[in-house]
Structure 1
Amino acid sequence: MIKKVLYAGSFDPITNGHLDLINRGAKLGDHLIVGVIENMSKTPFFTVEERTDLIREATSHIKNIEIDHFSGLLADYVKKNNIDVVLRGLRATMDFEYEIQMAQMNARLYNNDVETVFLMTCPDYSFVSSSIVKEVFMLNGDIKGLVPDNVLDYMERKYRK
């Protein structure tokens, strides 16, 4: 029986591809934690607080969800929070190569006590990444339909005053 599922990422910003995986991931276990990773070596588009608030708003329809944030090793967070399954999304074969390497390292770090489950992204979002969304947005391109409406509204208010 799967109790706790973790879907972790930077979500800078959350996209509709992420949201699709969150909706599907919430069905895998009793409780889904969306873990926003704070990477101190990167300069984020949004603060961790903004990202957690935007995700919380975009996922308010999901009953068995918790939004959290952390820094450091994913394996440490997994152990500390008694996670059963780590959910990872795959868009293309290049994602698989990176994700399988990370999953194998994490399995070693948590002594194979936790499973990593890979879900393929919905084909509608297979080309979408947070990086490309930010780039298109900053070049005044249309990203409607690629991010949740609340995220688009927030981005327009914050950057296009």
Structure 2
Amino acid sequence: MMKSCIYPGTFDPITNGHLDVIRRASNVFDKVIVAVALNESKTPYFDYHKRIELAKLATKDLLSVEVIGFDNLLVDFAKSQNINTVVRGLRAVSDFEYELQIGYANASLWSQFETVYFMPSLKNAFISSSIVRSVLRHNGDISSLVPKQVYQKIKEEYAN
């Protein structure tokens, strides 16, 4: 039986840390759906469609990975995909408390909902989308923080 999971997030933009978690998940699951959340409450740097495009670029060589956008509750999206397992990345202890709360909240909405946590490799543990956005705002070099294809696309479209 094929086992699938969802890796949800805003991915604003997708980073090497995200890609690290996606690769780890694809080693455990037959199919990984990267679910890009609309999540306008976070006032994303990149618009929804651009974030989906960048995630697709970053994962195009990973055959077991599909990128889908969603704009509803994660639990409802998971049910619509007939998948009850989500993957989340944990970089530090501070992530754990937040992720634990979210995991419990989701489980309270759907008793069959499972959350699996992956840690990125040490070289990617410090990378977050907010760090990438901060570096971008100050015209810094993000080439070591995001996948090569994502860097090229951002450089082409957002260069001053």
TM-score under structure 1 length normalisation:
0.93
State how far apart, in whole Å, the 2-side matches of 1:74 and 1:104 are.
13
Cα deviations by residue, 1:66-97 (Å, 9 ceiling, x for unpaired): 11010121111111211131100000000000
Cα deviations by residue, 1:99-158 (Å, 9 ceiling, x for unpaired): 0010011011111x1211001111111111101111112112222211011211222222
Q: 1:2, CA displacement in angstroms?
A: 5.7
Structure 1 spans left out of the alignment, 5+ residues: none
TM-align CA RMSD: 1.4
Secondary structure of the equivalent of 1:116? strand
Runs of at least 4 residues off by over 6 Å:
none
State how far apart, in whole Å, the 2-side matches of 1:139 and 1:127 are.
18
Q: Comparing both structures, which one devotes a greater share of its residues to helix?
A: 2
Q: Residue 51 of structure 2 aligns with which residue? A: 51
Q: Across the two proteins, how many residue pairs are aligned to each other?
A: 160
Greater shift, 71-80 or 12-21, is seen at 71-80
TM-score under structure 2 length normalisation:
0.94
Q: Residue 84 of structure 1 aligns with which residue? A: 84
Question: What is the 5 A alignment of 1:1-161?
Answer: 3-111=3-111, 113-161=112-160
Which amino acid in 2 is paired with 1:85?
Answer: T
Secondary structure of the equivalent of 2:42? coil
Structure 2 spans left out of the alignment, 5+ residues: none
2:75/2:113 contact within 8 Å kept: no
